[in-house]
Amino acid sequence: MNVSEELRKSPWLTKEILGEISPQDLAFIHSIGLPLKVKKNEAIFCPGDNNNQLIFLEKGTVKYLIYSKNGEIGTICYISDGCLLGEASYFHSHPLTARAIAFTDLNLISIGEEHMNEILSRPSLMKSIITSLSIKFDMLLGQIEDASFRNHAQKICRALYCLCKTQNTNNIAITHQELADITNTHRVTVTKTLLKLKKEGIISFPNKRRLKIIDWEGLYTYGDDAS
């Protein structure tokens, strides 16, 4: 599996992976959309909602979650600024199955269903929407691959690799609990995995909250054994 394919299956969608929406389409979105501000941890969508809004994420990061019947929470993905939200339900109008919450404070542009024909008449914007849906489908394939073929340690390594690559850095601020939430594993499992990676010289800990990748190829290999 090459790096670009791996990032398409990562749980982080960025405008660099999606491809930036054209200035003309951005101007169109602003001309017909309603600007909204959402505070950190507030919900944008909830399970059971009938969404009729296409949303452009102008600033911030959104986290998608699913819930089991006994209250367990699973993280699906993170969507960052420059990307689209709610594009599938905007067209099919079926009740939502996931919750989207503000991981940070957000600036959004919301487009109502009354503008659907205008959106459909813009091929470049429709291409962005279809590309977004395609990449999110790849994300789900990556999660199915994780669940079917990777153990917890491999999932943690793959997530850490993708997180740093999408942020274009080898030095990030992240807690063990945050990494556990991202990979739907336990914090103890994350700690054991990271200590093993440190012992093998693949990562280091500059301080309590920061993690630095030293050996990209080694980290990639650990997380790519399923491919």
pLDDT tens-digit profile of 59-100? 999 999 998 888 888 888 899 999 999 999 999 878 998 999
pLDDT tens-digit profile of 37-54? 999 999 999 999 988 999
Spatial separation of the C-alpha atoms in residues 137 and 112, rounded to whole Å: 24
Could you tell me if 92 and 184 lie in one domain?
no
Q: Phi and psi (nearest 5°) for 75?
A: -90, 130
Give the residue with greater pLDDT, 169 vs 226. 169
Nearest to 21 by CA among 132, 180, 172, 133: 132
Could you tell me if 129 and 58 lie in one domain?
yes
Nearest to 109 by CA among 34, 41, 20: 34
Chain CA centroid to CA 88, Å: 16
Q: For residue 7, what pLDDT band results from cuts at 50, 70 and 90?
A: low
Look at residue 70 in the predicted model and tell me its pLDDT: 86
Specify the pTM: 0.85
Residue that is last in its domain, among 113, 147, 181: 147
Q: Residue 226 carries which side chain, given as an amino acid letter?
A: A
DSSP secondary structure string, 148-206?
A: HH--HHHHHHHHHHHHHHHTT-SEEE--HHHHHHHHT--HHHHHHHHHHHHHTTSEE-S
Kindly tell me if the per-residue pLDDT of 148 is higher than 80: yes
Percent with pLDDT over 70 in the chain: 95
Q: CATH code at 81?
A: 2.60.120.10
The domain in which residue 180 lies consists of 150-223
